[in-house]
Chain A
Amino acid sequence: MARLRLFGPAREAAGVSQVLLTGRSVGDVVAAAEERFGADFSRVLEVSRIWVNGDDAGPDTLVNDNDEIAVVPPVSGGCA
């Protein structure tokens, strides 16, 4: 089971800040998350990056139980 962490709009759309999901790749885990969390989550996902252990990853990136996957929506730190 891979740990998926959710932040900002992704967390709000999913209703949770983290979840354990089954999957061998980022694409698998993301697909499982979409199935669980629905259309609002998918809309946030469209504009988000996926990180694995803090690094940018694509759908084909393989993951194991020790990896932390994160949905990283567009960021808005700093100030205007």
Chain B
Amino acid sequence: MTLLPLSPPQVGDWIGVSDQALPVDEAWRWASLPHCGGIVTFCGLVRDHSEDRPGVTSLEYEAYIEHVVPRLAEVADQAHARWGGIGRLVLLHRVGTLNVGDVAVVVAASTPHRSESFDAARFCIDTLKHTVPIWKHETWEGGSDWSTCAHDASPFDGSIPPPPRPVRST
């Protein structure tokens, strides 16, 4: 699947996935609205280590690409349902090969007052980690393998994620 360059929408939230560098500066500027006094922008970066894995040099994000945007949009819908004052939301995720310091994910939320923008942005990043079909493969000084920080891919329904369903007939 070819990924188009990310550009903000005419209406609605800015949701996207790309194998190119994420437009962090454009994201928070787009989220700015006259009636919003606060924007919280969260950038998730590739770190040089993970649990028991010193010297991380790169990551490869693999995605079930057709379902990334729909799942991000669900997170955005949930955020709007919880914080009715959200002006604009940005949820962008990068895929492909990333190096230390690269931006892997961007969340931006604008609201009239600051507390809601912090809360909404935090909700979005925490939730998308559990619901969006993306897998992180780490390369570090001792080898390479899938991330050990993984979550059951639960559909978000506002409750605590249920345990995995059995996949075999009993």
Residues of chain A touching chain B, judged by Cβ–Cβ distance below 8 Å, are 5, 7-9, 11-12, 25-27, 30-31, 45-51, 54-56, 58-60, 70, 72-80
Contacts and interface: CB of A to CB of B under 8 A. Distances in A.
B153 A72 contact: yes
B135 A9 contact: yes
**Nearest 10 pairs of A and B residues by beta carbon:** A79-B44, A8-B135, A77-B134, A74-B150, A78-B129, A27-B169, A76-B147, A76-B136, A76-B150, A59-B169
B168 A75 contact: no
B29 interface: no
B134 A5 contact: no
Interface string B126-170: 001111111111000000001101111111000000001111111
Contact of A79 (B105, B151, B168, B170): B105
Contacts of A11: 62
B168 to A, nearest CB: 6
B89 to A, nearest CB: 16
A16 to B, nearest CB: 14
A72 B65 CA distance: 12
Describe B's contact surface by its main secondary structure: mixed
Contacts of A70: 64, 133
Given A8-B146, A26-B167, A60-B169, A78 B155 contact: no
Contacts of A77: 61, 63, 93, 105, 128-129, 132-136
B132 A47 contact: no
Given A30-B168, A48-B164, A59-B166, A73 B47 contact: no
B100 to A, nearest CB: 12
